[in-house]
Structure 1
Amino acid sequence: MKHEAIPHNPVRDVGHVAVPARDSGRDKQRAFTREEREALLTFADADPTARRRELPDLLAFMAGTGARIGEACGVRWSDLDLDLGTAKLGSLPVRVPGVGLVLQPHGKTKDSSRTVALPPWLVSRLMERKVNAVPNEWDVVFCSALGKLRDTSNTSKHVRTLLDAAGFEWAVGHTFRKTAATWLDEDGVSGRQVANQLGHAKPSMTMDHYMSRRAVTERAALVL
């Protein structure tokens, strides 16, 4: 060391300091109870920040379908049949270098593109939203507060902020998918039907990662 004030550099003796992960303390294996989900959606409806960020209906859609955040951000009005109570999922907002956000018309895999049944309570909510909807160039149901495509990463951060504010510091956006799979499984819905609802090619993946698509599962809508 300079001037030999100490015989060696003590920093070299310091081991690697672990930096807590962004989601440290989050329990990704836990699902919402029915009471917790209802409390969260009620909180979102009343929270000024959530309303300003256009989150309440987006969260309700994720809760009622088990859709990924990106899938919810990419669903278009033309994908919905509110008379039949169905939604086609698959389109995603993606960021293209040098271009910005674009709406990709297909999902991560061929199994991601699927049609799911909507629970009656969600159909009613979407009908109300449609009456007051402001048109946007992508026809997406859940655009940003500025009428633009939602960035999935930023939306995920906003959802985590809302979860914390509502007292669900353990939860993440994916908790809605975990919850959908758990509730359907507990109600006796088959692994194949749950996989179809979540857009998985193999029921084994659903069971391994989510339980505690193309086919429309009407029973799922009744449970959710």
Structure 2
Amino acid sequence: MPRAPLPIGTWGAISTWVVQTDDKGKAVKHKSQARFRDHDGRLRPVSAYEKTKTAAERALLTKLQDRAKTNQSGELTSMHKINHLLDLWEKRFEGLVSDGTRSPTSLDTYRRALKNHIRPALGELRIGEATTPRLDTVLAKIKTMSGAATAKTCRAVISGAMKLAVRYGATSVNPVREVDAIEAKPKNPPRALTAEEVTLLRRSLASDDRAVQADLPDLVTFMLGTGVRIGEALAVLWHQVNLEAGRVEITHTIARIPGEGLLRKTTKSRAGERVLSLPNWGIAALRTRYAAGIRLDEPVFADALGGFRDPSNTRRSLRTALSPVGSTARRDLGRSLRTLRRKTGKTRKQVAEALGWPQTRIELIETGRIKVDQQLVADLIKTYSIKLENFPDLQAEIEAAAQPAESDKLAWIRSHALRKTTATALDEAGHTARQIADQLGQAKVSITQDVYLGRRAANPAAAEALEQAFEDPDLLR
């Protein structure tokens, strides 16, 4: 039987011999050579020269491995490492971002998943070793350690990479297809603000000096009136607003890209490009801003220098504004705790490190923006080498600060809750899911229904229909 041909991208036996000696007959140069089956199917000799036999063979092996990685015909082999496959996938995704068909924020998210989870767990394996059981185990571990959301992101990246491996001939099937779906109950099920909460929110922001300074009242009003994402709201320029027609054009969003800074980029999909009608109270808020003086090429919600605002910083300002301040007692307690810390000569950072807390938590406590209790304060002042029972006045302040405040009702709100509120209001007004998805700029109606619409109250007409269907007493026996 004829000998089976070498697989493409592999090589045969390595031969090494002396090609040069010195005057004394000592070998000073060796040549190593092997036949390599190139990506066009032809066998070609590959050689390397070094002083010693071992060095020559090592140099040749390096050249052969590098040649195997050279993608002359778009193929991989099952012997390539997954790290190499991930490099190809990442480069391809970068091309999609450059073409404008994928978001740079998605690329940033996937790169974090690659760096922190996927490469450490799978990078040194061969493509052929990426079996369904092994991938299932890796993803289950990521879910346990980092949560379902991170595991879903990693699953999407691995699946995309293995699809690439199938197309390039390194494997015949995508092993991720049979991996268990990653499911978990959402931490925060869809919840919309009630009409009373909307009123309380707008009144609370308008009366908070820090919220007004951060330009939150009008921004929140705009988001409630349109249902746009926070990045989309911050990307709107004045020339996109038609106050006479009561409309606003949504075409871009603001995102911070590592290494590039703030970018005004197109929306996530074509569905995100839309023209929205504004409610009268939304138009009134924009008219007030317009009257203060604007430039058509400036953002409607600009920073102090007239440029674009960072969505992350704006979300942080909103969280701070909605923290449970609500009472003078909490601010008084915060000042007392700050005084005690300063008497010890400790910084917030030192206290936070001693307790294993984020430094921002100490700041929120000392500014009265966290609802505290006896145990939390006791743990805190223990780092000051004092005992709570020795400060009766402080205990009284804690009891007063622990009392419920009206603003506690707002502490759960995040920027996406505003979108859910808009969607739910439209749903209750009888708009279809397709109309609501178009308002929100979402391509898939299922996402709108599952994530952004608050559950309606039980249908009272259902009981009436069932009563009529089963009113015959004989059916109830």
Matched, 1:128 2:370: no
C-alpha distance after superposition, 1:126-179 (max 9, x if no partner): 01111114548x510001234331111111111111222443111111000011
> Aligned-pair distance for 1:28?
5.0
- 1:185 alignment counterpart: 427
Residue 264 of structure 2 corresponds to residue 103 of structure 1: yes
Preserved contact between residue 433 and residue 449 of structure 2 (Cα < 8 Å): yes
Q: How far off is 1:183 after superposition?
A: 1.0
Aligned-pair CA distance for 1:90: 2.7
Over the aligned positions, Cα root-mean-square deviation in angstroms equals 2.5
Q: Which has the larger radius of gyration?
A: 2
Q: What SS does the corresponding residue of 1:174 show, helix, strand or coil?
A: helix
Give unpaired runs (5+ residues) of structure 2. 1-143, 148-186, 325-406, 455-477
Residue among 202, 213, 221 paired with 1:60: 221
Separation (CA, whole Å) in 2 of partners of 1:208 and 1:28:
9
Which residue in 2 is equivalent to 1:113? 273
TM-score by length of 2: 0.38
Alignment of 1:1-224 (within 5 A): 27-104=188-265, 106-135=266-295, 138-165=297-324, 166-167=407-408, 168-212=410-454
1: CA distance, partners of 2:199 / 2:293: 24
**Letter of the 2:268 counterpart:** K
Q: Output the amino acid matched with 2:298.
A: D
Where 2:270 maps in the other structure, the secondary structure is: coil
* C-alpha contact 2:298 2:306 (8 A) present in aligned 1: no
Task: Report the Cα distance in structure 2 between the residues aligned to 1:154 and 1:100, rounded to whole angstroms.
Answer: 13
Runs of 4 or more, structure 1, over 3 Å off, are 16-19, 96-99, 133-136
Q: Secondary structure of the equivalent of 1:101?
A: strand
Alpha-carbon distance in 2 for matches of 1:103, 1:148: 11
Q: 1:11 maps to what in 2? A: none
Distance 1:141 1:28 in 2: 31
Q: Distance in 2 between matches of 1:186 and 1:132?
A: 36
Higher relative contact order, structure no. (Cα contacts within 8 Å, ≥ 6 residues apart): 1
Q: CA deviation at 1:38?
A: 1.3
- Report if the CA contact (8 A) 1:52-1:145 is conserved: no
Q: Report the counterpart of residue 8 of structure 1 in structure 2.
A: none
Decide which structure has greater helix share: 2
Contact 1:28–1:174 (8 Å) recurs in 2 = no
Is the 2:254–2:263 Cα contact (8 Å) retained in structure 1? Answer: yes
- Matched AA of 1:210: Y
User: CA shift at 1:73, angstroms?
Assistant: 0.8
Structure 1: gaps of 5 or more residues: 1-15, 20-25, 213-224
Greater shift in the superposed pair: 144-153 or 112-121: 144-153
Equivalent pairs counted in the alignment come to 191
- DSSP-derived class of the 2:249 partner: strand
Is residue 177–residue 210 contact of structure 1 (8 Å, CA) maintained in 2?
A: yes
Provide the C-alpha distance between the structure 1 equivalents of 2:303 and 2:445, rounded to a whole number of angstroms. Answer: 34
